Amino acid sequence: MLAFAAAVGVVALTNPPSPHLWAWVLLIVCILISALAVTEGLAKILVHASSGIRRVPWKPILLVVLVVTLTGGVWWVSRPLLAKADVLLFGCPHPVEVRVMTAPELLTTYQGLASRFERFDATQKAGCRTAELHVFAPPVAKARDGLIAAWSAEYLRDQGPRPDVWLPESRFQVDEVRVREAATGFGPDMAGGASIATTPIVLGVPASVGIRQNDPAWQGQTWTTLIRGLRDKGLGLIRPSPAVSTVGDFSTVAIYTSENKGVNLRQDPSYARTVEQWVRQTFTANSYPTDADVSALLQKEKDGKQQPIVLSEQQLARFNAAIHGDGPGCGTPNGPPTCLLAFYPTDTHRLDLPVVQLTWQEDPATEEQHAAATRFGEWLTGPDGRKALVAAGLRPPGMSVAAPLVEANGVIPGGPQLNVPRDNPPVAVHDEVQAILKKVTQPSQVLITVDASGSMNAPVGGGSRFTAAVDAVRTYVTSQRDTSLMVFSAKVGIHRVDLPGLQETKPLGNTPLYRAIVAGAQEVGPGGVLAVLTDGTNNVDEVSLDQVTRSGVRVVVLAFGEASCATQALVDVTSRTGGSCRQGGVDTLRTDLAELLRGV
């Protein structure tokens, strides 16, 4: 009994079960008994030794050894039992709250991982959750700016307390914040930043398109080759907005730099402009939401729009798993046609998913919060956490992939290893691509060129076709900025005019439509919009159609009189330049011109 009581005292001392009064009483009593037992045994040994008797005092020695042995054994066995007893008697302590910030496109993933960690952590603490992880996801730019601003009052109001853990999509974003913090002196201390898993950015092509996933003409090609292939097939491309999506941001860098490795892209951004016009046309024709992330765009895919889309491998696999459920998988003869098949460009990027622990000087976390945040980070990089990452559709380093990263979900498990995609784009390259993207997508200047050929003298009401066209132009330009004017005819020539000069022009001669478009494109510059008002077709053969369509300018046409949007010449001009044609009436030219130029 003395040995057992001594052991319990040591257990209570080395692993106090709780701050409850009973535990401290037990602790004090068992320490006293333990001390008494050991003291009595040692005293007998000393007395025996001082008596000069040479016989070994086995009983006292065995008593001390027994006490020590039982103490160790009971300490080893009783720790979980005492913890469970404490839970049964007094319940679980209240878990500490740990705030975990991530990106919107990873919110569902990390909410699931947080729940798995809480269950794992509870198994280590007699079934009690010691931490409650609150996962939230402000917009990517908002999260970055909030960290740089030391989570000021605005963020405390709109987003809540400061985060303890940050789980961004890329170390690029971590480095960006660290550089800004070094310059300003604001922001939290950031520990860690190592990648816990990756997911490559891929091209998802609907199975209904009929491209085989193992076709070497498509699989393992560059972004430029894939884009050329899509355009040759008359397909479009859906890309998440670079302003709100890291997938959209990084894929834009990969796509722009894929053409000639991005050499001279700033000097000649025509490839970037062509890509953006093509993407914009796909969005418009299929009513996809602009400025949307992957989740919103996938909803349109699910609704049957079925356009090739840029997304992460994880997003593709989870989308397909939800599509086919327990039925035939993607790529099988009876698989759903709405499945997306993954194509892995050789020059793509991937998200490398770091984990960062944050410490705020303005609002330090408690010791318990800091410990819980540390345990969460360690769990993510430990055996159980890595298994959970695989189950979430991610690729932890050194781990074999499993469901949902299987062929039945439209992915190639060995794809990223075969093609060696890159991680983060270099900062200088990324910033240059962003500048080019802004340049080629900013609102363009509009140049209106008006047909001044002889046919425009045809009478209409109290005036002519020309005066009706001039009246429509005058109404439009008085309410718009950055709009310039030209006139064209074989006799009048092709030249810039102001509004009074346009009104004074006397129509005469034939219609050099193609030459007027080429001249107008030179005036407005790449990325501009050229609006043509004409009542006829080209009848001056000085410029070919190919010269017209290589101008890099979007051509929109308002056709009236004898001119028809159905003529092959106008169809070719507008379709090849990404423009449009509107069939107007002489008495409705004001409304027709306003509608034609709406949103350009």
DSSP letter string over 194-208?
EES-BEEEEEEEEGG
Q: What is the pLDDT of residues 370-384, one digit of tens each?
A: 999 999 999 999 999
Tell me how far CA of residue 370 lies from CA of 50, 94, 190, 311, 377, in angstroms.
Answer: 56, 16, 13, 35, 11
Same domain, yes or no: 373 and 362:
yes
Whether 237 and 299 share a structural domain: yes
Does residue 148 lie within any of the structural domains?
A: yes
Biggest CA–CA distance in the chain, Å, is 142
Token readout for 578 is 């990404």
C-alpha distances in Å from residue 463, one per residue of 315, 470, 527: 61, 11, 35
Is 7 among the domain residues? yes
For residues 57 and 79, membership in a common domain is answered with yes
The token duo for 431 is 């910033």
108: in domain = yes
pLDDT at 459: 92
Identify the pLDDT of residue 96: 94
364 pLDDT band, cuts 50/70/90, is confident
Residue 546 neighbours by CB under 8 Å, 6+ apart? none
431 with 527, same domain?
Answer: no
Burial 189-206 (b: 16+ CB within 10 A, else e): ebebeebbbbbbbbbbbb
Domain enclosing residue 585, as ranges = 443-596
In degrees, rounded to 5, the angle at the alpha carbon of residue 429 between the alpha carbons of residues 425 and 435 is: 120
Number of domains forming the structure of the chain? 4
Q: Which residue has the higher pLDDT, 8 or 585?
A: 585
Q: Are 199 and 350 in contact (CB under 8 A)?
A: yes
Verify that 307 and 383 share a domain, yes or no. no
Please give the Cα distance from 345 to 222 (Å, whole number). 5
Q: Are residues 319 and 427 in the same domain?
A: yes
Residues 292 and 415 both lie in one domain:
yes
Kindly report the CATH number assigned to the domain that includes residue 133.
Answer: 3.40.190.10
- One domain for residues 537 and 515: yes
Distance separating alpha carbons of residues 566 and 120, to the nearest angstrom:
67
CB neighbour list of residue 282: distance below 8 Å, 6 or more residues apart: 236, 237, 238, 288, 307
Q: Considering the domain boundaries, does residue 250 fall inside one? A: yes
206, 130: one domain? no
Boundary of a domain, candidates 56, 90, 124 = 90
Report yes or no: 252 and 433 within 8 Å, Cβ to Cβ: yes
User: Average pLDDT in the 475-487 region?
Assistant: 79
| pLDDT above 80 (res 126) | no
Distance of alpha carbon 466 from alpha carbon 505, whole angstroms: 9
Check which CATH number belongs to the domain holding 582 and give it: 3.40.50.410
Distance from C-alpha of 4 to C-alpha of 29, rounded to nearest angstrom:
12
Structure confidence at residue 203 as a pLDDT band (50, 70, 90): very high
Among 73, 90, 107, residue at a domain's last position: 90
Q: Is 576 in the same domain as 447?
A: yes
Task: For residues 301 and 430, state if they share a domain.
Answer: yes
At residue 402, the pLDDT reads: 92
In-domain check, residue 396: no
pLDDT of residue 40: 63
3-state percent breakdown (helix, strand, coil) of the chain, nearest 5: 50, 15, 35
Strands 199-206 and 309-312: antiparallel
- How high is the pLDDT of residue 373? 96
pLDDT tens profile 381-409:
999 999 999 999 999 998 899 999 999 99
Helical pair 427-441 and 171-184, crossing angle rounded to 10 deg: 100
Name the domain boundary from 90, 106, 139.
90
221, 345 contact by CB (below 8 A): yes
Specify if 397 maps to a domain.
Answer: no
* Residue 516 pLDDT > 70: yes
* Same-domain check for residues 345 and 374: no
299: part of which helix (H) or strand (E)? helix 294-302
Domain-embedded: residue 536: yes
Q: Are residues 530 and 554 in contact, defined by beta-carbon separation less than 8 angstroms?
A: yes
Instruction: Please indicate, yes or no, if residue 100 is contained in any of the structural domains.
Output: yes
